[in-house]
């Protein structure tokens, strides 16, 4: 499954014109799993309760995953590591606001659009619930709210940003595990933080999705992790599906031609 990373992304990719790109750096090494981010998000954005009240048994995570009615999700991972003892990883996940956003690119109605902050937002008045964005997202972020019919996800608090406020989740985060700001500045901060942690003997510290050369052209929300991405439920090497679209269109066209040919040949040398 070779992927040619250099293939250009189509419309919807972030062209940097709009102005400084805003986003998140989530430093999971100082997350205390308080879920204030989850609650603040729901309070501010009036997101409804997500499903039945049932215990998952997955440590303290009773949210499970991001979805149409969960735009922030705090993961809890308990690890017994022999001599190093017990470790309890906590990490707050959110829409990555990809530079090459598959959800946006496949959206037929244009309901999903790129804002002046470089973020990716659904316009509820345009979404017709075709659901194409749902399997397109390589992170399983966006989803359709069945009782409503439309797709929903993190808006990166578009309304607050326009009013010069920081997103509700970042505002509520007591330890500044969620840091909001200009992406370039955040990347610098993240590099320094990793260095500090490594210096302090936390060798596992690593950044995830900060690389603009990756399969999604870099994320508007990147993370400092203490273990492999898949341990937190992230794809280890996400690639925007639309990167392969030229190849896919070529195949479709070829197939169409083949079909036409098949029909044509059905008529050659025909006898009544």
Please list every residue from 101 through 120 that binds ligand SF4, using CB under 6 A.
101-103, 107, 109, 111-112, 120
CB closer to another protein, 116 vs 227: 227
CB nearer to ligand SF4: give 13 or 167. 167
Residues in region 133-192 near ligand SF4 by CB under 6 A = 133, 137, 139, 141-142, 151, 153-157, 167-169, 172-175, 177-178
**Strands, DSSP E only, in the chain?**
22-27, 72-80, 86-94, 112-114, 120-122, 143-144, 151-152, 178-182, 206-208, 221-225
Q: Which residue has the tokens 């509700």?
A: 168
The nearest distance, CB 77 to ligand SF4, in angstroms, is 13
What number of CA atoms fall less than 13 Å from residue 103's CA on the CB side? 31
Q: Could you tell which of ligand SF4, another protein, none binds residue 120, using a CB distance below 5 to 8 A set by kind?
A: ligand SF4
Q: Which stretch binds ligand SF4 (CB under 6 A): 129-137, 195-203, 222-230, 248-256?
A: 129-137
Strand partners, 180: 24
17 binds another protein (CB under 8 A): no
C-alpha 217, offset from chain centre: 12
Q: Which two tokens stand for residue 176?
A: 């500044």
- State which of positions 124-153 bind another protein (CB under 8 A): 126-132, 134-146, 148-151
Distance CA 80, CA 32 (A): 18
- Give the max Cα distance, the chain: 86
Q: What is the closest distance, in whole angstroms, from the C-beta atom of residue 207 to another protein in the complex?
A: 15
CA 206 → CA 82, 96, 174, 180, distances in Å?
A: 22, 17, 22, 19
Binding letters toward ligand SF4, positions 21-60, x by CB under 6 A: ----------xxxxxxx--xx--xx---------------
β-strands 221-225, 206-208 pairing: antiparallel
Neighbours of 150 (CB within 10 A): 19
Kindly tell me which of 71 and 208 has the beta carbon lying closer to ligand SF4.
71
User: Which residues between 63 and 102 bind ligand SF4 (CB under 6 A)?
Assistant: 71-72, 74, 90, 92, 94-98, 101-102
Beta carbon nearer to ligand SF4, 44 or 222? 44
Specify whether the backbone of 88 is left (phi greater than 0), alpha (psi in -120 to 50) or beta: beta
Local structure of 239: helix, strand or coil? strand
Q: Does residue 75 touch another protein according to CB under 8 A?
A: yes
232 contact, one of ligand SF4, another protein, none, CB 5-8 Å limit per kind: another protein
Binding site for ligand SF4 (CB under 6 A): 31-37, 40-41, 44-45, 71-72, 74, 90, 92, 94-98, 101-103, 107, 109, 111-112, 120, 122, 127-133, 137, 139, 141-142, 151, 153-157, 167-169, 172-175, 177-178
């Amino acid at each position: 499954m070779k992927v040619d990373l250099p293939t250009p992304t189509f419309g919807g990719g972030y062209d940097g014109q709009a102005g400084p790109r805003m986003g998140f750096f989530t430093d999971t090494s100082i997350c205390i799993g308080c879920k204030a981010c989850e609650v603040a998000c729901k309070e501010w954005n009036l997101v409804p309760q997500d499903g039945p009240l049932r215990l998952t048994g997955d440590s303290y995570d009773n949210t499970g995953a991001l979805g149409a009615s969960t735009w922030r999700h705090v993961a809890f991972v308990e690890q017994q590591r022999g001599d190093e003892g017990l470790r309890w990883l906590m990490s707050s996940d959110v829409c990555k606001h990809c530079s090459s956003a598959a959800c946006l690119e496949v959206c037929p109605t244009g309901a999903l659009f790129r804002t002046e902050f470089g973020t990716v937002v659904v316009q509820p008045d345009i979404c017709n619930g075709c659901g194409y964005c749902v399997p397109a997202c390589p992170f399983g972020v966006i989803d359709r709210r069945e009782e409503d019919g439309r797709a929903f996800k993190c808006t990166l608090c578009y309304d607050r940003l326009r009013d010069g406020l920081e997103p509700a989740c970042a505002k509520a985060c007591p330890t500044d595990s969620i840091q909001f700001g200009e992406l370039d500045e955040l990347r610098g901060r993240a590099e320094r933080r990793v260095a500090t942690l490594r210096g302090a003997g936390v060798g596992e510290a690593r950044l995830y999705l900060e690389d603009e050369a990756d399969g999604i052209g870099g994320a508007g929300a990147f993370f400092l992790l203490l273990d492999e991405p898949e341990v937190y439920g992230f794809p280890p090497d996400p690639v925007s599906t639309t990167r392969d679209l030229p190849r896919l269109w070529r195949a479709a066209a070829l197939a169409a031609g083949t079909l036409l040919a098949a029909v044509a040949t059905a008529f050659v040398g025909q006898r009544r």
